[in-house]
């Protein structure tokens, strides 16, 4: 009888839905390979220890720090990420933008901060195109108000930060460099990702950020990569869309689809390009 009760208890536990799992064992992964070039946990940790936004932008792009390994347009060079801040009342929206063309930017993520009583709410949100729907990093059981950068952006006399850098106009210390292999990149940022200051979730905790009218900027030159593994076969689809506006008023849209299939050590690549002209 005792053995029967134990067996029934085990069966009931196995039948419980996975939603009852603890947060600290929940794994939520971004949805594209592009997200592998900028780990938002590392970004969050860097933000928490930086004194101001100018210093944060510099550290974010510093090759020695190794946090930015993002190559969205697939040109073989890491994209410079600049910061643009919007403020409405006690809500701050800090936009991370990749400069990938002349006056052309792709929003990568946003850092959202609001004052809440004696403390502050904060989260890092990944752009949907790169990280998928509802991809957030939240602080875990820490007092955000103690961070130096929070005191800086909430001081009485404060002007929102707007980077002066763009494509082709970079700081003197910065030069385009080649991205690292994914494994090398993960090893370089482990000093940030091994911490437990932040946790990834699917829900937003910053409520007043809606006061800021924000429409994400999306570049036509961003390369999308999606990898699917099934039955020993790995298929990678790379899509690129480039729009060119000519002086005569015409527009050329060039779409490239590159499908690479790898199975049993053999690799096969099929590339299709379609060019469409519009008047």
Cα→Cα distances 107→79, 126, 214, Å: 12, 9, 11
Tokens 């069966």 — which residue? Answer: 11
* Average pLDDT rounded to a whole number, residues 177-203: 94
Same-domain status, 191 and 250: no
Torsion over CA of 196, 197, 202 and 208, rounded to 10 degrees?
A: 170
Whether the per-residue pLDDT at 272 is higher than 90: the answer is no
Identify which has the larger pLDDT, 255 or 212: 212
DSSP β-bridge partners for residue 104: 101
| pLDDT (0 to 100) of residue 228 | 55
Q: What is the dihedral of CA 66, 199, 137, 206, to 10 degrees?
A: -150
Domain that holds residue 241: 224-278
Q: Compute the CA torsion angle 82, 27, 136, 77 (nearest 10 deg).
A: 10
Confidence band (pLDDT; 50, 70, 90) for 104? Answer: confident
Co-location of 45 and 120 in the same domain = yes
Residues 137, 250 within the same domain: no
Rounded CA-CA distance 152/175 in Å is 29
Residues 112 and 249 in one domain: no
Q: How many domains does one find in the chain?
A: 2
- 80-83's contacts with Cβ under 8 Å and 24+ in sequence apart are 80/165, 80/167, 80/170, 80/174, 80/176, 81/38, 81/57, 81/108, 82/57, 82/163, 82/165, 82/166, 83/53, 83/56, 83/57, 83/161, 83/162, 83/163
pLDDT digits (tens, 9 = 90+) for 4-38: 444 444 444 344 333 333 333 334 556 567 788 99
**Does 22 or 168 have the greater pLDDT score?**
168
Whether 45 and 175 map to the same domain: the answer is yes
Q: Is residue 207 part of a domain?
A: yes
Residue 81 · residue 57 · CB < 8 Å: yes
- The pTM of the whole model exceeds 0.75: no
Give the pLDDT score at 245.
43
Of the residues 162, 182, 211, the one at which a domain ends: 211
Q: What does the pLDDT read at residue 107?
A: 95
Same domain for 48 and 164, yes or no, is yes
CATH number of the domain enclosing 270: 2.20.25
Of 160, 185, 211, which residue constitutes the final position of a domain?
211
């Amino acid at each position: 009888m005792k053995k029967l009760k134990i067996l029934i208890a085990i069966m009931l536990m196995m039948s419980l839905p996975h939603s009852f799992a603890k947060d600290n064992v929940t794994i939520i992964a971004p949805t594209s390979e592009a997200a592998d070039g900028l780990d938002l946990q590392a970004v969050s940790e860097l933000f928490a220890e930086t004194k101001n936004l100018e210093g944060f932008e510099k550290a974010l792009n510093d090759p020695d720090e190794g946090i930015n390994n993002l190559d969205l347009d697939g040109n073989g060079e890491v994209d410079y990420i600049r910061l643009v801040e919007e403020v409405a009342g006690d809500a701050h929206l800090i936009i991370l933008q990749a400069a990938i063309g002349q006056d052309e930017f792709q929003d990568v993520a946003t850092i959202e901060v609001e004052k809440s009583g004696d403390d502050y709410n904060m989260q890092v949100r990944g752009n949907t195109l790169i990280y998928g729907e509802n991809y957030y990093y939240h602080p875990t059981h820490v007092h955000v108000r103690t961070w130096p950068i929070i005191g800086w952006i909430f001081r009485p006399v404060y002007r929102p930060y707007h980077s002066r850098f763009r494509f082709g106009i970079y700081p003197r210390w910065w030069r385009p460099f080649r991205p690292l292999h994914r494994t090398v990149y993960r090893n370089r940022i482990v000093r940030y990702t091994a911490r437990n200051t932040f946790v990834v979730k699917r829900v937003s905790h910053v409520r007043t950020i809606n006061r800021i009218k924000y429409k994400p900027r999306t570049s036509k030159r961003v390369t999308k990569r999606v990898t699917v593994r099934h039955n020993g076969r790995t298929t990678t689809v790379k899509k690129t869309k480039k729009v060119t506006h000519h002086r005569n008023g015409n527009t050329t849209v060039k779409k490239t689809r590159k499908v690479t299939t790898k199975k049993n050590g053999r690799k096969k690549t099929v590339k299709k390009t379609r060019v469409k002209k519009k008047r």
